Amino acid sequence: MDEKLEILLKWAAEVGISDSETYQTQSHPPLTCLGHSLYVSHFPEAGGRGLAALRDISKGELILRVPRSALMTRETVLKDERLSNALNAHSSLSSTQILSICLLYEMNKGRSSWWYPYLMNLPISYDVLATFGEFEKQALQVEDAIWATQKAVLKAELEWKEANVVMKELNLKPRLLTFKAWLWASATVSSRTLHVPWDVAGCLCPVGDLFNYAAPGEDLNFKMQSSSFGNYPCVNGDDPIDVLDSEQLDFHSERLTDGGFEEDVAAYCFYARRHYKKGEQVLLCYGSYTNIELLEHYGFILNENPGEKIFIPLESELCTSNTWPMESMYIQQNGEPSFALLSALRLWATRPDQRRSVAHLVYSGSQLSVENEALVMNRILKNCNFVLKNLQTSYEEDNLLLRDIEKLQDSLSSLQLKNVLASSTGQIRSFLEANCLERGESSSVEMLSSSRNIIQAVGRWRLAIQWRLSYKEALINCRSYCCKVIQTIPFQND
């Protein structure tokens, strides 16, 4: 086990964090906070470092408890009078800005911070959208995703400029005043905080943020696409997870709570969301997100994401012929149109003077006629083809590019960089040029091999390609779905 991690787990035991209730009553804390229900393990294909079941665990069982005193919140950090006075003079700052400042303030203390064992185990970087450079942003290709990235970057820059006034007054170290440091702090808050009832920004939860993510409703046998070996756990403060007490568990067997802050024990308590066998990764669900939202807030995407939504261009008349909100009309990752999209299109394909008479059938999910259903499927098919045709690269080209990027990542770790620079073409060449790496320059090769920033840029580029591959795959799946329905319509209506 990593030495820093051992220090964290020992410190956690000393402050009352435990995966066993019996530990809470012992006069002498154990050497580690884990060892009864959980242990730290590595899951390369499912989130990197995470928590595994040390034994068979039953659904609904309490598996970790973190006392309120161990949570890093604005409330606890602001007990520092100097920090409190500085922040009180700037009331316009948001809760998340304040928590980010608090985090950097504690980092500034170094070893003297009470949370030092926890702070030194935080990831050194994140791959959230706000960290994407221009090349990675454009690699997303889809206008909505590019716009989401632009907004994330602009928002981070604005919040940094506002917060920097306070941080300068606090005399933080120069490296902690940089935009890069702010991106790290704000990404930590975005990707690792858990909901607490007394603060919108949430809290940072030592050990509790080692849980990796599982999307709601899936079978949990997912693979997470990540560009680095760090884990991306925990709950965004803006998206609280539900809290159920033990009496409610029997009535919610299909969607068990993962955890929440419980006032009666003054602790954040985590529960098993399903039955786990010994050695399985124990996962945490913190809401339903599309892949671009996961990338924006947490820095990863899912190969199989039940919350994914792909939007295609729709006629303005379609939007006014029904009452479905636009955000409900989408294509799922498996290619199936949402109920709202099918309903809206079935009404749109009906003569205006007949829509009222068939509305009850549409809203019950019924097909109206062979002709109507054929019109609907052909319209979706046409729109999917239009989107795919207007993207710069095809699904097949992206697959080949992804393999080249993986080879590039391998060369970064094996230091076979001269060969990469000498043989690179196409988008690999464009990436190297965008990062100021020119063919044949030994100094550039040395910079590439030693620069963590370049390695991280390759990882973010890979995530962008993976995202657009997933996007295109959903559209291709939808084309297949529409063709299949069109072929079977006559048989359904015999």
Give pLDDT tens digits for 17-45: 998 876 454 456 678 888 899 999 988 77
The least confident of 177-181, 225-229, 319-323 is: 225-229
| Residue of higher predicted confidence among 69 and 450 | 69
Residue 46 has pLDDT above 50, yes or no: yes
Going by pLDDT thresholds of 50, 70 and 90, the confidence category of residue 238 is very low
Q: Which residue has the tokens 């403060």?
A: 237
User: Residue 112's pLDDT is what?
Assistant: 95
- pLDDT-above-70 percentage for the chain: 80
Phi, psi dihedral angles at 343 (to 5 degrees) = -60, -45
Q: What is the DSSP string of 174-186?
A: GGGSSHHHHHHHH
User: Residue 27's pLDDT is what?
Assistant: 55
Q: Amino acid identity of 481?
A: Y
CB-based contacts of 410: which residues, under 8 Å, 6+ apart?
Answer: none
The least confident of 24-38, 330-344, 399-413 is: 24-38
**Pairwise CA distance, residues 158 & 147, whole Å:** 16
Comparing C-alpha atoms, which of 75, 51, 440, 437 is closest to residue 281? Answer: 51
Tens digits of per-residue pLDDT, 423-447? Answer: 556 777 677 667 665 444 444 445 4
Helix or strand holding residue 481 (H, E)? helix 452-492
Residue 387 has pLDDT above 80, yes or no: yes
Per-residue pLDDT, averaged over 50-56, amounts to: 92
Q: What is the DSSP string of 412-453?
A: HHHT-HHHHHHH--HHHHHHHHHTT--TT-HHHHHHHHH-HH
User: Residue 436's pLDDT is what?
Assistant: 60
User: Cα–chain-centroid distance for residue 67?
Assistant: 26
Q: Amino acid identity of 336?
A: E
Going by pLDDT thresholds of 50, 70 and 90, the confidence category of residue 413 is low
Tens digits of per-residue pLDDT, 352-382? Answer: 888 888 888 888 888 888 888 999 999 999 9
| Strand-pair category, 301-302 with 199-204 | unpaired
Going by pLDDT thresholds of 50, 70 and 90, the confidence category of residue 266 is very high
Full set of structural domains in the chain with CATH = 3-204 (3.90.1410.10), 308-493 (3.90.1420)
Going by pLDDT thresholds of 50, 70 and 90, the confidence category of residue 414 is low
User: Residue 175's pLDDT is what?
Assistant: 95
Residue 168 has pLDDT above 70, yes or no: yes
The least confident of 113-122, 240-249, 416-425 is: 240-249
Most confident of 74-78, 149-153, 193-197: 149-153
Cβ distance 426 to 476 under 8 Å? no
Per-residue pLDDT, averaged over 322-342, amounts to: 88
List Cα–Cα distances, 94 to 35, 159, 168, 396, in angstroms.
39, 9, 18, 44
The least confident of 66-75, 153-162, 355-364 is: 355-364
Q: Amino acid identity of 202?
A: G
User: In 290-342, at which residue ranges do the beta strands (DSSP E only) sit?
Assistant: 301-302
